Amino acid sequence: LRRNIMRIQQTLLTTTVEEVIQDATRGSVRSPVVSSMWSREKALNAVVTATVVLSMFILGFSIDHYPKHLVWFVLETLICCVFATELVLRLKTKGCKEYFAGDAMAWNISDFVITILSVIETLFSLAVLLSLGPTSKVVSVSKMTIAMRALRITRVVRL
């Protein structure tokens, strides 16, 4: 009896909600809640992938063409908002424990760090921009920031 209880506990800790539903219904019933959750997850992944590709395009283009122009800062801020929104949605959907200690722990932690550092860098750049005035073209990006932005491409590998 003790072995069976331990086996059930282990199974409950390692299976997803969809796997439990599929097992309980022997695959004959597809839960609308699970289907809706998976379709939202796929849509979010598509948006994030497109945003990463757009971010890489903007990064490459901005380095060669007017790197201190305000347009690049605005676009990068919008992209940062998309990633921050994705982070909040994933944390809300999965919960902190699953997000930081689940199967994709390493990917999630790297996404979290890159996103938080991007938000901090964007806020810092905004503070510099506001203190120097909107006509200033001194919104500079360090080499470290450019490297961090380039790390976003790893998100596509995960998705």
Query: How much is the pLDDT for 67?
Result: 73
Query: How much is the pLDDT for 82?
Result: 92
Structure tokens at 62: 């901005």
Query: How much is the pLDDT for 25?
Result: 59
CA dihedral in degrees (47, 30, 158, 108; nearest 10)?
90
50-70 per-residue burial string, b: 16 or more CB within 10 A, e: under 16: ebbeebeebbeebeeeeeeee
Query: How much is the pLDDT for 87?
Result: 92
pTM for this structure? 0.64
Task: Print pLDDT tens along the chain (159 aa).
Answer: 777 777 776 766 666 666 666 666 555 445 555 455 557 778 888 888 888 888 888 888 887 887 778 888 888 889 999 999 999 998 988 888 888 988 888 888 988 988 898 888 888 888 877 887 655 554 555 556 666 666 666 666 665
Smallest CA-to-CA distance from 33 within 43, 45, 21 is with: 21
**Which residues neighbour 18 within 8 Å (Cβ) at sequence distance 6 or greater?**
31, 34, 38
Query: How much is the pLDDT for 88?
Result: 93
